[in-house]
Structure 1
Amino acid sequence: MTRSRLALILLLNFTGIVLFLSWYWPPGHGFWMPADVGVFRFFNNALAGNYAFAMFLAITNNRAFDGCSLLCMGLLMLWYWWHETPEGRRRIVIMGVVMLLSAIVLNQVGHVLPVVRPSPTHTLNDIYRVSDLLHFPTKDASRDCYPGDHGMMLMIFSGFMLRYFGKTAFTLALAIVAVFALPRIMIGAHWFTDVFNGSLSVVLVGLPWILITPLSDRLIDGLNAALPGKHKQITHI
C-alpha cells in the first residue's frame, strides 16, 4: 500500500473520529442536539391533520419497504453485471458477498460504541406518532437507534460502488442513501445524527481499511478461487 493511500485512510479515520467526538463529548451533544430536535419537529409538526403525509411515512417505514432499498441496490449492481464478461459477473456476485460481510462486521463495531440512545419518539413530549394516527404496521420508534443500521448499510454500499464501479455508480448510490435513509428520520425512528453522524463516523473509520487497502480485492480473489463454478479467472473489475 502506498503512502498516499495510507494518508487518505488516516485522514478519513480522523474525520470519522472527530465527527463522533463532536457529538459524544459535549454535554447534551452540543450543537448537534438543537439540529436533531429541529429536524424532528419540522417533520413531526407536519403530521398534524395531514393523513396523506402520515400514510406516506407509514408506508416508507414499513418493513416491506426495506425490500425496495435492496431492490434498488440490486438493480444498480445488475446494470454493471449485465455489461460484464462471465468472469466479471462472477466477481460482481462475490463482491456483493464481501460487501455483505463488511456490513455485518462494521455493524457490530458500531454497536460497541458506548451509546444507548432512544429515538425522538421515545424521548420528546408533545409529539405525533404515526402508529397512533394510523392502523398500519410501521417503524416509528427505537429503544437504541445510534448508530443507524439501515443508513450504515446504505453508506457501505455507496463505498463499494465508488471503489468498483466509479463516480457515476457512487452518485446513484448516494441518491439511494437519501431516499431510503431519510424516511427513518422523518418519522422519528432515528435522530438526524444517528445516520449522518453515527453511521457516517463508523463507515469513515472502518470502510477505508477494507476498500482502500488490498483487503477487499484479496477477499474477492480468495472467494473466487475457493467457491465452485466456472469462470474463476482472476481479473479485477
Structure 2
Amino acid sequence: MADVSWQKEAKNQWNARAGGWQAKSADMWENGSRKGVCPFFANYVPKNSLVADLGCGDGYGSQKLNQAGYEVVGIDLSNKMVEFAQKFETERLTFKQGDLANLPFQNDELDAVMAINSLEWTENPYHVLKEIKRVLKPSGKFCAAILGPTAGPRENSYSRLSGQPVIMNTMMPWEFVKLARENGFQPIAEEYVYKGGMTEAAVQSFSAELKQSLTFFTLFMMEKE
C-alpha cells in the first residue's frame, strides 16, 4: 500500500468491524466453523503450556483455550477487539494490543502459538512466520488456519485485481505449507473445515490437495524444527 500504512488501515478496519464480529464470535467457536479448533489444538499441545493466540479478535477462542487448561496471551492489532477480549481476563488469560510482525515475547519463550485466519491479514506473512519461529521454544507447536477457496472472507482481497490497495494477503493452503517449511516449520497434521453440504465422508478418497481446494479453511499443526 503506497500511501497508507497497512497496519493503520488494518487496525481501522477491524476496529470498525469489532462489534459485528463480537456478536457472532461465540456461535462460530461453539457451533460453527471454529468449533473443532480447540480440540484439534489439544491433540498436539500439552495442558499448562504457555500459548499466544495471534489475531485473537474478541478473545472468545483464547478463553476456550484457557478453559481447556492453557495459559494464554491474546494479541490483536485492533484496540476495540482487545477491549472486548479483556472481559475474559484471568490470572492465566491476558490480552495485549499488538502487531503480529513485532511480537511482545522473548526468544524461545512460548510453548505454542495459535493463529486462526489471521496470517492472511498481515502485510508480510513471511516475516510474521519468522517472528513466530523466534518466540517459540525448540519443538514448539504452531496451529494455523488458512482460508480456503470457498471462504467468503477471501473477497476482501478481490479489489487488488483492479489495482486498488487491500490489506489481505490471500494464499492457498499449499502456499502456506511451503512458506512455513521455508521458515523452519515441519507440518505434522491437517484438518479440513468445509462449508455446509460437504462432508469428510464425501471426500475421504481425495488427496490432501483436492480436499484443501474445497475447504472453508484448512487447519494445520506445525512444529518448529
TM-score normalised by structure 1 residue count: 0.26
* Structure showing greater relative contact order (alpha-carbon pairs closer than 8 Å, 6 or more residues apart): 1
Higher helix residue share: 1
Q: Which has the larger radius of gyration?
A: 1
Higher strand residue share: 2
